[in-house]
Structure 1
Amino acid sequence: MGEITPSQQMLASCSGAVITSLLVTPLDVVKIRLQSQTAPVNKCFLYCNGLMDHLCVCLNGNGKDKWYRRPGQFTGTLDGLIKIARHEGVTSLWSGLSPTLVMAVPATVLYFTSYDQMKGKLQNKYGNSSLIPAVAGGIARVGTTTIISPMELIRTKMQSRPLSYAEVTEVVRNSIKTSGIRSLWTGWAPMIMRDLPFSVLYWYGYEVIKPTIPTDSLFLKSFFGGFSAGTIATVLTHPMDLAKTRRQILLGEKVLDRVAASEISTVSILRDVIDRTGFRGVFAGLLPRIAKIGPACAIMISSYEFGKRFFREYNETLSSSI
């Protein structure tokens, strides 16, 4: 009695995804600028907010994408926030929010709901082992990434250059014809290489840290547990985040130039970064990523837990009144 339904879990995660996107998007814009300002790219760039990624055209000239005609180089997070707001307008800090919400919210809903459902099934079968959240988080991330990967590729193609839906259909048809159905999952591997370890580390850390928070407030326990676990997972997985950003920037270039995306190597990109800037180069953009993902994890999980508690109490009240 009082247990929440999958649809209620979806509603709880949906509210968290919207709130998180609104609050942390500016920090992700700065992170991507810091990571891409030394990348050999002049046509397009990758934007992501931790929930979903997409590729946009960089015109540096005439066109609608005026916000990306950025002045000079950014020396850090605060410098980036100030320069973007001053030279490009405050609204530029929320660039790409609309398409992100359209795709990110369903993906986040699927991810959190899958995690809760999987964790419940594993706990019923194997008990309350501390490893179960890590396993459930990893399975949920792989499943979600695999499902949304073709949609992400299609959106990347649409945003890399002006295409009608008919043209997108033709591009996808030609891609399948020349490279097979697996071509729809281009970019899946680097996403998994970053997101799978992050999910495993995050959910394991969250479930271990949360009970140690010295408060009886579920919201505060969830908030600080999510912040701590998210920060730790961010630091440990950041090199792969940078490699994924650079790789998909190059993927956009190669898609535009009709060159096989398989020629891009994550390892070679990391090696190139180290050769150019030293080992510290693989941690470019770490500070804004921590400043984004730490609060994002805290806001997302606390909103989600609060929403679940609301529906659980609602269901208990409803059942007791019957």
Structure 2
Amino acid sequence: MSGQSAAAAASNGITPLQQMVASCSGAILTSLFVTPLDVVKIRLQAQKNPFPKGKCFVYCNGLMDHICVCENGNSKAWYKAPSHFNGTLDAFVKIVRHEGVKALWSGLPPTLVMAVPATVIYFTCYDQLCAALRVRMGDFSQEAPLLAGALARVGSATVISPLELIRTKLQSQKQSYRELTDCIRSAVQSEGWLSLWRGLGPTLFRDVPFSAMYWYNYEKGKGWLCERYNTRQPTFTITFISGAVSGSIASIVTLPFDVVKTRRQLELGELQAKNLSGQVSSSTFSVMSRIVAQSGFGGLFAGFLPRLIKVAPACAVMITTYEFGKAFFREHNQERILRPLQSSDT
């Protein structure tokens, strides 16, 4: 057996590179599917509350969040409404009619630059960790997805956090790469390397519990549905339903941390836009206390329905594409192993 075949057999029939290709395909497809929903949401949001210069809004495509800084009020084309929108469907129709279909994917570039690599790291790490933990955890192997999901999210969020900070600075201040390098070097010298991971805490507070619950419920749901419908391999429907339900449960439970994270992201983005990045915004629990004081406990669950509408299909599309990609490569690897054996028997 070749080295590649051995590696494939050791990792549930596919290699880490094949896992990366499968997750990359899933991330691209999810971005293409969810981006128009968020472009429309931001247009409607800008219509109700125009964004003044220097303010930020968070653009989220179902895979990750991006902080967008307004430079000249509402003059930026991809969130300036050309006419009055009377609702979501009306916004879709008018954007396509006045600006063309491409306008619905105007927020796609930052996704492809950052969210796709982050998703590839996350899903590949999860599969590798889960396979290793199932072996080592013995009687507790059913809890492996919980731990693997949490660890994989910590890894991917930590890797991508400095890139998010750099991207926000580029977007808010329109610096050249040389100016940006000098800015980062001076920040590191004055505040240390940890300054590149500013804002990571709130991200982990939301994303790590979400990831742990998502993978645990997904694996449990998938196993239960396979058993119920008496099938060894999960079908498209089983995978889609498991992904949507587990994503919905995790998003509801972690919504308060999402609200806090969004608030802190906006604060940090606006501080950076005003060249005040040295000032650190409030801690996670301070922000949470402030929200409760201002809006009551209901304030921690603001945006419940929009988040659910976006996260459930995004999780379903991502995991279904990923599982389909893995099944394709698994079958391809099995054929490669069997072909020489069949030819030697004849």
Q: Could you tell me the TM-score, scaled by structure 1's length?
A: 0.89
Q: Please give the residue correspondences for 1:1-322 in structure 2 after superposition, counting only pairs within 5 Å.
A: 3-29=13-39, 42-43=53-54, 44-61=56-73, 63=75, 65-70=76-81, 79-80=87-88, 82-83=90-91, 86=94, 89=99, 91-127=102-138, 129-213=141-225, 214-215=228-229, 216=231, 217-259=234-276, 260-322=278-340
Structure-1 residue corresponding to 2:343: none
> Per-residue displacement from partner, 1:233-281 (whole Å, max 9, x unpaired)?
0001111112111111110111122333423333333333333333322
CA distance in 2, matches of 1:210, 1:62: 45
Q: Report the CA distance shift for 1:184/1:35 in structure 2 as closer, same or farther (over 3 A).
A: farther
> Per-residue displacement from partner, 1:12-49 (whole Å, max 9, x unpaired)?
11111111111112333456678897799752222122
CA distance in 1, matches of 2:172, 2:17: 35
RMSD: 2.8
CA distance in 2, matches of 1:54, 1:222: 28
Comparing 260-269 with 143-152, which one deviates more in the overlay? 260-269
Unpaired runs of 5+ residues, structure 2, are: 341-346
Contact map agreement 2:51 2:73 (CA 8 A) in 1: no
Contact map agreement 2:43 2:80 (CA 8 A) in 1: no
Contact map agreement 1:9 1:308 (CA 8 A) in 2: yes
Instruction: Report the CA distance between 1:137 and its aligned residue.
Output: 0.4
Identity %: 51
Contact map agreement 2:53 2:73 (CA 8 A) in 1: no
CA distance in 1, matches of 2:148, 2:89: 36
Contact map agreement 1:226 1:294 (CA 8 A) in 2: yes
Comparing 94-103 with 84-93, which one deviates more in the overlay? 84-93
> Per-residue displacement from partner, 1:201-241 (whole Å, max 9, x unpaired)?
10111111112224445222211111110000000111111
Comparing 304-313 with 279-288, which one deviates more in the overlay? 279-288
Comparing 15-24 with 217-226, which one deviates more in the overlay? 217-226
Q: Could you tell me the TM-score, scaled by structure 2's length?
A: 0.83
Contact map agreement 2:39 2:79 (CA 8 A) in 1: no
Comparing 116-125 with 49-58, which one deviates more in the overlay? 49-58
The number of residue pairs the alignment matches comes to 318
Unpaired runs of 5+ residues, structure 1, are: none
